[in-house]
Amino acid sequence: MTFNGNSCHEVSVTRGVPALLAAAVLLAASPALADEPVCSPVSKVPLERHLRQLTLDLLGRPPTYEEYQAARARGQVTVDDVRALMQKEEFYGRIRAYHRALLWSNVSASIIGNGNLRLLGTGSAEDPLALRGPSSRPLRGDYGQGCDSFIAQDDCGAARQDPHADPALPTTAEACAQERYDERGVPLPVSWDYDTNYYTCTRLDQTPTDATITSCEVAVARGRIPARYLFFCDMRRQSNGTRVPYLCLPDPGKATTAALTQEVLAPDGSGRVVAFAHPSPTPSTSLARLDRCTLNLGLKLTSTGVAIKGAYEPQRGCVQREGYVTQPAPFWSAERSEVRVCAIEAQARTANPWTLEPCITTRFIGDRTCGCGEGLRRCDSPDGFTHQARLAAINTEPELIADSVVRRDEPYFNILTTRRSFLNGPLSELYRAPQQGVGVFSVTPPAEPQVLPVVPFAQTDTWKEYVRGPQHSGVLTTASYLYRFPTQRSRVNHFYSAFLCRSFVPPANARPPPPEDSCNRENNLAKRCGCNACHATIEPTGAHWGRFAERTALFLDPDHFPRYDPRCRDCALANNLFCGGECGQYVMQASDGDGASSLGMLKTYLYRSADEEQSIDGGPRLLVQRMLQTGELERCTVQRVWQEFLGRPMSAEEQRLYLQPLADGFARDGYRFKALIERVVMTDAYRRID
C-alpha cells in the first residue's frame, strides 16, 4: 500500500510499471503485508513523465521538444499549465472523441440506405441519371433500364427508332406534346425494345453477314424475315448509337412463351402478326398472349378488371423508354450547372395527377408520374455520397453540442438540456427539404424552416449554430441518439448507463413465476412478475421520450398527434388496422382490458399513470432536472472522467477518498467540465507511480 496524505490505499499496478518490477516490490513487502498494512510516501512520476501523461491524456499526443524545455525551466507542471493545455484545439478534438464514445454516436447500422433510391449514370449526354435498379421494372419494363439517351423528350423531330412499326412523326407542336406527354404532363415512351426475358432476338445483318441489311424493311425485302413478322422486327441501338435490326419471337426455350404458338393477325387485312397467343388457355395459364410492342403504355387494372387512368405500367414483354431532359444540376452537385436526367426521374410532383396517390413516400419509385422531386431530392446520388454524408452529419451533431458546452465553460449538463445545435450542408438540406431519402430517413425538422441556416449540401465541413424547437433537450433528442437507441427502453438504458453509471440487472434472487401464474399474462412490463424488478423503473422513465416515435427521429407533435384520435378508434373497431396509413402511432389492437379501452390512443400513453403523462409532456429535459436533484449525475461524471484520464475505474478506496469530494467540487465549480478534469489530473492518484 502507498501513503497519500494521512491515508493508506491499495496499490494499483496499472500505469507505467513493468510487471517484473511490480512483482519484486510485492515480494519484498510480503513479510510485512502478512502482519499489518505498511504505508510509505507517495512516489510521484518525474516531471517529464508527468508532462507526457498530461499531453497524451488532454491532447492525444506527446509533448513537443519546446514544451519539455518550458516545463524543465519552470521545474513543475502547474494548474496554469493544465489550463493552457485545455485551451488548445487538440483538447476539444479529444473532448469530441470522448463524447462520441460515451454516446455511441454511430447510426450507420441503424439507418440502412435503400439502393432502390440511388440514381445511376453520370448525367452526361451519353449517360443520363436514372433509377435503374429494381424500380426500373415498373417504370420501363425491365430491371436495370434507363431512358433513351439518344432522344430528347421534347424533340419530336428526332428520328424514330422503329419507323416501320411506329406512327408517323407529329407535324405540329401540339401533336408533339400529345405524343410525348399525356394530358397531365406525364412523360410517355419515345422508343421500345422487345424484352429478352420473353423473346429470343436474332440479329439480321449477321449469319450470314450482310451489311446492307440496315433496316427491318430491307430485311423483309431481302427475304431475311417473312413480311408478316415486320412488327416483331426490332431496331435495337448498339453502344455506338447505331441501330441494327433483330427479329424477336417468343422464346421457345421457356414453357410460358413456347406455348404461344397462335399467330394473331392485324384486323386491317395486312397479314401482319400483331400478337402471339396461347391456342387453348385455361384459368391457370400464366401467360396467354404477348402483343407487339408500341409506344403505348398499359394501365393497371382493379380487382374487377377496370383500367385505372394514370396508373401506368409498361406493356408486358416490352422495354418502353422515355427520353431525357436537361435541367439544373441536383442539390448534391457543386461542380456542374446542368445534367441530363431521364424524363420520369426529372418530375417533381407530390402526388399522381390522376389517382392523387402520394409521391412523397417510397411508392414514387414505381409510379412513372412522380419523379425524384425538385432538385432530385427524393433520390440518392450515384455514388451513395448523399446517404453517407447524412449519416456522418447525424453522427457528428451530438459531439458538437458537447464541444460547444465545454468550450464555453457552461454547466456540463447543458449537453443534456440545451436547445442549441449545429447543422452542415447535408443536415440543412435534409431538414429544409424533408422529402429527401424517403423510406430511409424519418426525421422531423428540429426547428421551423425560417430558423434553419441555409448551407449548400456540398459544404459538409461548414457547421452553423441555431436553436431547435422547445421539444428538444441536448443530445438526448438528436437524430443520432433517437436512431442509435430506437426504443424508449433503449433510450432509458443508455441514459442510465452513460450518465448515471447504472445498469438494469435483475436481482440475484429474482425468479420468474410458474408458467401457470396469471402474472405472466400481464402486458404491462412494469407489473409483470419477473420483469418488474427492472421495468418498474424503465417504463416510467421511458415516458420522457413519449413524444418521440420509436425507430425514427420523428417528433409526435400534439397538434398532429393528439393523445386520442377518434378516427383511429373507429378504424380499430372496424378492424381497419391500416386506416389510411395515418394511425401507425396509435393503439389499433387490444391484447388486454387496458388495450381495449385504449383503442385510438397514442401508443406511448398506454399503461401510463398521471405522473407518467406529465413526464411525456416534460420530455427528456424534465428527466435531467429530476436526476440533478439526486447527485447521481455529477458522481457518475466524476467516475467517467476518472476512468478516461487514469485509464481505469476508481478502486473502492479511491471512491471513498475522491468520489464525493470531486463531485462536491464539480458542483461548486458550476458543473464546469474543464474544472473537473483539472481537479482529477492534479490529484496525487493521477501522478503517483503505481
Instruction: Please report how many Cα atoms fall inside a 13 Å half-sphere around the Cα of residue 435, on the Cβ side.
Output: 22
Whether 346 maps to a domain, the answer reads no
Rounded average pLDDT over 596-610: 94
The reply to whether 83 and 222 lie within a common domain is no
pLDDT over 50 (residue 99):
yes
Whether 251 maps to a domain, the answer reads yes
Residue 42: predicted pLDDT: 58
Q: What confidence tens digit (pLDDT) does each residue in 225-265 have?
A: 999 999 999 999 988 889 999 999 999 999 999 999 999 99
SS3 for 237? strand
∠ CA(137), CA(138), CA(143), 5° rounding? 5
Rounded average pLDDT over 335-356: 94
Rounded to an integer, what distance in angstroms lies between the CA atom of residue 399 and that of residue 95? Answer: 8
Q: What confidence tens digit (pLDDT) does each residue in 8-64 have?
A: 444 343 443 333 333 333 333 444 434 444 455 557 778 999 999 999 999 999 999
Whether 142 maps to a domain, the answer reads yes
Residue 2: predicted pLDDT: 37
Strands (E), 128-185: 130-131
The reply to whether 79 and 189 lie within a common domain is no
Quote the radius of gyration of the chain (alpha carbons, Å).
35
Q: Looking at 306, 326, 346, which one is the last position of a domain?
A: 326
Residue 689: predicted pLDDT: 63
The reply to whether 84 and 211 lie within a common domain is no
pLDDT over 50 (residue 124):
yes
Q: Looking at 292, 326, 360, which one is the last position of a domain?
A: 326
Work out the angle between the directed axes of helices 47-59 and 65-74 (0-180°, nearest 10). Answer: 130
Whether 137 maps to a domain, the answer reads yes
From the DSSP assignment, how many helices (H) and strands (E) are in the chain?
22, 18
Domain count, the chain: 2
The reply to whether 90 and 10 lie within a common domain is yes
Let me know: does 402 contact 475? Beta carbons within 8 Å.
yes
Confidence of residue 83 (pLDDT cuts 50, 70, 90): very high
Rounded to an integer, what distance in angstroms lies between the CA atom of residue 125 and that of residue 159? Answer: 17
The reply to whether 161 and 97 lie within a common domain is no
- For residue 417, the surrounding DSSP H or E stretch is none
Whether 358 maps to a domain, the answer reads no
Q: Which of 90 and 440 is assigned the larger pLDDT?
A: 90
Residue 27: predicted pLDDT: 38
Q: What share of the chain in percent tops pLDDT 70?
A: 93
The reply to whether 145 and 8 lie within a common domain is no
Residue 437: predicted pLDDT: 81
Rounded to an integer, what distance in angstroms lies between the CA atom of residue 550 and that of residue 190? Answer: 45
**Main-chain dihedrals φ then ψ at residue 338, nearest 5 degrees:** -135, 155
Work out the angle between the directed axes of helices 532-542 and 488-499 (0-180°, nearest 10). Answer: 100
- Identify the residue whose cell numbers are 391457370: 284
Q: Cis before residue 208, ω within 30 degrees of 0?
A: yes
The reply to whether 71 and 141 lie within a common domain is no
Query: By residue range, what is the domain housing residue 198?
Result: 127-326
Rounded to an integer, what distance in angstroms lies between the CA atom of residue 2 and that of residue 199? Answer: 87
The reply to whether 173 and 317 lie within a common domain is yes
Note the pTM of the prediction, 2 decimals. 0.85
The mean pLDDT value of the chain amounts to 90
Whether 235 maps to a domain, the answer reads yes
Highest mean pLDDT among 127-141, 480-494, 495-509: 480-494
What residue type is 685 in one-letter code? A
Q: Looking at 265, 299, 326, which one is the last position of a domain?
A: 326
The reply to whether 240 and 281 lie within a common domain is yes
What is the distance of C-alpha 660 from the center of its chain?
A: 42
**Main-chain dihedrals φ then ψ at residue 194, nearest 5 degrees:** -75, 140
Rounded average pLDDT over 623-645: 97
Residue 32: predicted pLDDT: 40
Instruction: Please report how many Cα atoms fall inside a 13 Å half-sphere around the Cα of residue 90, on the Cβ side.
Output: 12
Rounded to an integer, what distance in angstroms lies between the CA atom of residue 50 and that of residue 592? Answer: 64
Q: What share of the chain in percent tops pLDDT 90?
A: 77
Residue 37: predicted pLDDT: 45
**Which of these, 415, 419, 445, 451, lies nearest to 433 by C-alpha position?**
445
Rounded average pLDDT over 580-600: 88
Q: What confidence tens digit (pLDDT) does each residue in 263-277 have?
A: 999 999 999 999 999
Residue 427: predicted pLDDT: 96
Rounded to an integer, what distance in angstroms lies between the CA atom of residue 519 and that of residue 512? Answer: 10
Rounded average pLDDT over 161-175: 88
Residue 28: predicted pLDDT: 39
Whether 655 maps to a domain, the answer reads no
Confidence of residue 690 (pLDDT cuts 50, 70, 90): low
Let me know: does 111 contact 391? Beta carbons within 8 Å.
yes
Whether 580 maps to a domain, the answer reads no
Q: What confidence tens digit (pLDDT) does each residue in 420-474 have?
A: 999 999 999 999 986 788 888 999 999 999 999 999 999 999 999 999 999 999 9
Rounded to an integer, what distance in angstroms lies between the CA atom of residue 101 and that of residue 90? Answer: 17
The reply to whether 160 and 58 lie within a common domain is no
Confidence of residue 518 (pLDDT cuts 50, 70, 90): confident
Let me know: does 78 contact 70? Beta carbons within 8 Å.
no
Residues 6+ apart with CB under 8 A from 244: 203, 204, 205, 214, 235, 236, 238
Q: What confidence tens digit (pLDDT) does each residue in 197-218 have?
A: 999 999 999 988 999 999 999 9
Rounded average pLDDT over 293-321: 94
The reply to whether 6 and 132 lie within a common domain is no
Residue 29: predicted pLDDT: 41
Q: Which residues of 285-313 are buried (b: 16+ CB within 10 A; e: fewer)?
A: eebeebbbbbbebbeeeeeeeeeeebbbb
**Main-chain dihedrals φ then ψ at residue 576, nearest 5 degrees:** -95, 80
The reply to whether 96 and 135 lie within a common domain is no
